[in-house]
Structure 1
Amino acid sequence: MAPKDHDWYLATDKKMKGRITNDIGTDYLSGKFLPSFNQDDYATGFKAYAAAADEMLTYYEKECNPFDSKAGFSFLVLGIAVVLAGGVFYLVRSSIIGSMSNVMAATEADAYRSHEWLHLTENRDTFLYMNVTRKEKPKK
C-alpha cells in the first residue's frame, strides 16, 4: 500500500492463487477494501480486506473450489422462483376476490338486481316530455 500515490498491489503465493484466483477473486477482494482506501480510511479498509479474505477462504474450505461471487446464481432456480411467486400471487388474489361480498358471477343481468331493497309500485313508464318529428318518405 502506497498511501501518497493511492496505489496498491495484491501479492500471493502459488498455494493462495489456487484459493483466491487472479481474475474473479482479486476483483471481489479489491471491491471490498478500495472504497475505504479512496477515502483515506485505511483501518476500515484493512478490516474489510481481512473480512473478505476470510469469507473467500472459508468458501474454499467448504466447497473445495476457488471463490466465485456468481457461483450461486442459476437461471433455472430464478425461473422456478418466478413460477412459484406467480402461483402464490394467483392463489392469494383468487382468495381475496372470492372473499369479496360484492363480486359474484351471474349468467343474466336480472341476477345482479337485489330483490331486498327494490320494490316496484308501478309497472308503467311515464315520460314527461316527448318530441316526435315525422317526415314523409318520398315515393317513386
Structure 2
Amino acid sequence: MKRYFTLILVISLCLFLCFPVSAGEQMPRLIDEADLLTNSEEASLLATLNEISERQGMDIVVLTVYSLDGKSPRAYADDFYDNGGYGYDGILLLLSMEFRDWYISTSGYGITALTDAGIDYISDQFLPALSSGEYADAFTTYATLCDDFIDEAKTGKPYDIGSLPKAPFAVGQKLLLSLVIGFVIAFIITSIMKSKLKSVKAQAAANNYVRAGSLQITHSHDRFLYRHVDRRARPQNNGGGSSTHTSSSGRSHGGGGGKF
C-alpha cells in the first residue's frame, strides 16, 4: 500500500512540474537559479520587487539561470513570464550565465511603459554593474528604473526617443569633467598672460611687410588647388514606441536584450 502511495505522489509531482503554473500559483518575482545573490541580497531585492509590483499593479520580475536549454533569450523570457502565473501587465529581466545573455520581456502595460528606447536606456544603466559582477546593484537599478518609467507612462507620456531622462554622471565622469574645465580655464589665463608679453605681433597680410613703392605687381592669376566636401548621412525618421512580437503561447510581448 505504501508503495502505491509513493508512486501516486511521484506521478503527481511530475505532472505538476510538466504543466504551467496556474494564475493562483504565481512564481516568486525573484528566481535566482544561477545562485548569483547572497541570502541577504535576495531578501532585499525581493522586497523591492514586491513593493514596486504591488504599488504599480504590475509584476516586476528578475530571473537568473545558467542555461537557456536551447531556446533564444527572447523565447525563454517570454515563455517563463507566460507560464509563471504572473499578471497580464509586467516586465521580466532574464539573465543567463552560460553565454552571458540578458533580455527584458515586457507584457501588457509593460510594453507601453518600456519603449524600445526605454529598454536601451535602462540597460545602459545596469549593464556596467552586471558586467563587473555586481548583480544585486544591477538588479536594483533595473527595478528602480522600471518604477520610474511606469510612473512616467501613467502621466500619458512614456519616456521615449527625445524625452528620455538624463543619465546621472558617474563619479569618474564628474572627475574627468572637472579636470577638463580646469585645463580650459588654465589655458585661457596663460594665453592672456602670454599675449601681454608680446611687443611685436604678426601681421595678417604679406604686403604689410613690404616697404611702400618697393614692389610693383604687373599681373596676377588665381590657381585652383583642391576641393573638400563633407558628406553626412541624413538622419532617418524614427517614431519611437515599442516593437512587439508573439510568444509561443500567443501573447504579445515587447522587449530587447544582448550580452554583458
Q: Shorter-chain TM-score: what band?
A: 0.3 to 0.5
Instruction: Please say which structure displays the higher CA radius of gyration.
Output: 1
Give the alignment's TM-score, normalised by structure 2: 0.25
Query: Relative CO higher for 1 or 2, CA cutoff 8 Å, sep ≥ 6?
Result: 2
Give the alignment's TM-score, normalised by structure 1: 0.45
The structure with more strand, counted as a fraction of residues: 2
